[in-house]
Amino acid sequence: MKYRTLASFLLISVLLTGCGSLVGRHNIDSGFAYIESHEYLNALESFNNAEEKGEDACLLHRGRGIALLKLGEYEEASTELLASLAADEGIVDDMDFDTNYYLADAFFGMGEYNKAKEVYDAILGLRSKDSSAHYLRGVALLASGNHDDAYADFSRAIALNPKDYSMIIMIFRALDDHGYGEEATALLQTAMDNGKDFMSNYEKGQISFYLGNNAEAQSFLEAARNERDQEKEPVVLLLGQTGEKQGDYNYAISVYKTYISENPNSAKVFNQLGMCQIKQGDYEGAVSSFQSGLSIGDKDVEQALMMNEITAYEYMGEFGLAASLMETYLKTYPEDEAAARENVFLSTR
């Protein structure tokens, strides 16, 4: 009850307040730059420096909360994000709502699904037509075992944005993951039936893929791959997965290599190519793919590429090299507990 009183006040207070001064925030700007590049420990150091220098409390607590959230320190993140809301001193803006989204994410990470729901309640109290908030509240309700209210939120989210097929697929996956497979499939099939006359080939390919209609998915995605105005990378990644799904790694590898020959700066495709090569036992080829991906410098994929390279070396029996790379990996991503356990194994080899 104490939390509820505090949170209600802070969430309502965004109507009147917002983060303050934009001057004197050198360390804060550095901290957010580090977050952008996924260097969360460096970000925390910058926000600590910002606090010592008396920089904007609202922004530094927000940044510290986001960095902690990314590191998986959910309880500490929630404390910082609440502190950011408490320090608001300006006109409400999108940043205030964004901070609340991060706060709900932190509560969700803690398993505090009802608290996450309360945050979304507050957001929807001010923005009743926010389809993302309805979707996310539905996920929180589903996680807490409240299927009926979750489904009502999912239905509302779709009604508000019926052409957001990425969101509909996420709803499908949430329902399917919680044991409502038939319901999830029916929802996805309805989206396909209602939208087939104006959906793009890529969108049809996506939904066909998740419906399990692999041949249809390939047909739509192959057509999308040849369309001039279609962004190609997501098409290629999903098209390759249609092959992987059937165990046809030769097809998947061909799709990925064809794309890379024309677009050599896709770290995501190099990563997926390497994973296929591992499954085929081509560990040297996989290492080469992962290293090519790492050379691109895409921070969004770097962690996966580093870990997958280590895995490929393990399969090759190069345990000393794998251990050395793991040491570097853990310095960059110390929050990865599974990798830390794997490091213990490597140290005994």
* pLDDT at site 331: 85
Give the end of a domain, one of 126, 144, 162: 126
* pLDDT at site 20: 56
* pLDDT at site 238: 97
Q: How far apart are CA 36 and CA 63, in angstroms?
A: 11
Q: How far apart are CA 255 and CA 251, in angstroms?
A: 6
Residue 59's domain comprises 1-126
* pLDDT at site 336: 77
DSSP string, 129-165: T-HHHHHHHHHHHHHTT-HHHHHHHHHHHHHH-TT-H
Q: Note whether 22 and 38 are same-domain residues.
A: yes
CATH number of the CATH domain containing 175: 1.25.40
pTM of this prediction?
0.86
Q: Give every CB contact of residue 124 below 8 A, 6+ residues apart in sequence.
A: 130, 133, 134, 137
* Nearest CA-CA partner of 150 in 142, 159, 158: 142
Q: Note whether 59 and 117 are same-domain residues.
A: yes
Q: Note whether 9 and 73 are same-domain residues.
A: yes
Q: Note whether 1 and 113 are same-domain residues.
A: yes
Please name the amino acid found at residue 100. Answer: N
CB–CB of 211/192 below 8 Å?
yes
Asked whether residue 1 is assigned to any structural domain, the reply reads yes
Give the end of a domain, one of 78, 110, 126: 126
Q: Give every CB contact of residue 293 below 8 A, 6+ residues apart in sequence.
A: 267, 268, 270, 271, 274, 301, 305
Asked whether residue 146 is assigned to any structural domain, the reply reads yes
Q: How far apart are CA 88 and CA 286, in angstroms?
A: 49
CB–CB of 271/290 below 8 Å?
yes
Q: Note whether 1 and 115 are same-domain residues.
A: yes
The DSSP call for residue 304 is H
Give the end of a domain, one of 101, 126, 151: 126
Please list the rounded mean pLDDT of every run of 10 residues in the chain (349 residues).
32 42 78 93 96 94 96 96 87 84 97 97 94 97 97 97 95 97 96 93 97 95 94 97 95 97 96 97 98 96 95 95 92 77 63
